[in-house]
């Protein structure tokens, strides 16, 4: 059940508008799906684990820095509804089982506003008729101003990002022959 937003008007301040009531609101969001690419599973796995390759699939990621083989930092910039957000993001690959599964933890702090993005993701790869089936599950929690935007707006943005990621992955392996 979704938690209702507390009122934004603060009676103690004579009906002045205050973001204090929505800053602690947490919005959970779950995204999952699957698609197939025309490449062997080991090639897809290596592509997803290579930060320079992976970054071209996710819209808005810039300034990616590899701290070590399991820790990364980046800037993620996106527009949600009428608001533009920029996050300082850290990624930790918590489990990697070549060539079948990658699990990661993502944390982001929006630059310029109060809030936080935390997520965990699991990507599974399976052989599928000469290609690879990519399945993914992302559990995210958004707090602060971003979390207060509401489910329909955030769900639409997540669907747009999924669509772009899938298109770019498929295009990267489009002419691959197995």
Q: How many CB atoms lie within 10 A of CB 1?
A: 3
Confidence band for 16, pLDDT divided at 50, 70 and 90: very low
Q: How far is it, in rounded angstroms, from Cα 75 to Cα 110? A: 10
Q: What pLDDT is attached to residue 9?
A: 43
Q: How far is it, in rounded angstroms, from Cα 144 to Cα 72? A: 24
For residues 35-44, average pLDDT = 95
28 has a pLDDT exceeding 90: no
**Of 2-11, 17-26, 28-37, 46-55, minimum mean pLDDT range:** 2-11
For residues 27-46, average pLDDT = 93
For residues 25-46, average pLDDT = 91
Q: What pLDDT is attached to residue 35?
A: 95
**Of 33-37, 44-48, 107-111, minimum mean pLDDT range:** 107-111
Are the CB atoms for 123 and 15 separated by under 8 Å? no
Q: What pLDDT is attached to residue 11?
A: 44
Confidence band for 166, pLDDT divided at 50, 70 and 90: very high
Are the CB atoms for 104 and 91 separated by under 8 Å? yes
**Of 18-27, 28-37, 89-98, 117-126, minimum mean pLDDT range:** 18-27
Confidence band for 163, pLDDT divided at 50, 70 and 90: very high
What residues are paired with 22 via a beta bridge?
A: none
């Amino acid at each position: 059940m979704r938690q209702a937003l507390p009122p934004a008007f603060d009676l103690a301040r004579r009906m002045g508008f205050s973001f204090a009531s929505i800053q602690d609101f947490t919005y959970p969001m779950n995204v999952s799906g699957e698609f197939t690419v025309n490449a062997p599973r080991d090639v897809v796995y290596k592509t997803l684990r290579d930060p320079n390759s992976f970054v071209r699939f996710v819209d808005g990621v810039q300034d990616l820095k590899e701290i070590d083989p399991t820790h990364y930092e980046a800037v993620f910039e996106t527009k949600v509804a009428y608001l533009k957000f920029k996050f300082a993001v850290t990624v930790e690959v918590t489990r990697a089982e070549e060539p079948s599964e990658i699990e990661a933890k993502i944390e982001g702090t929006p630059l310029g506003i109060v809030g936080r993005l935390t997520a965990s993701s699991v990507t599974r790869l399976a052989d599928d008729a000469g290609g690879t089936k990519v399945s993914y599950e992302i559990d995210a929690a958004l707090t602060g101003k971003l979390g207060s935007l509401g489910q329909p707006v955030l769900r639409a943005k997540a669907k747009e990002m999924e669509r772009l990621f899938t298109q770019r992955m498929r295009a990267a392996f489009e002419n691959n022959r197995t």
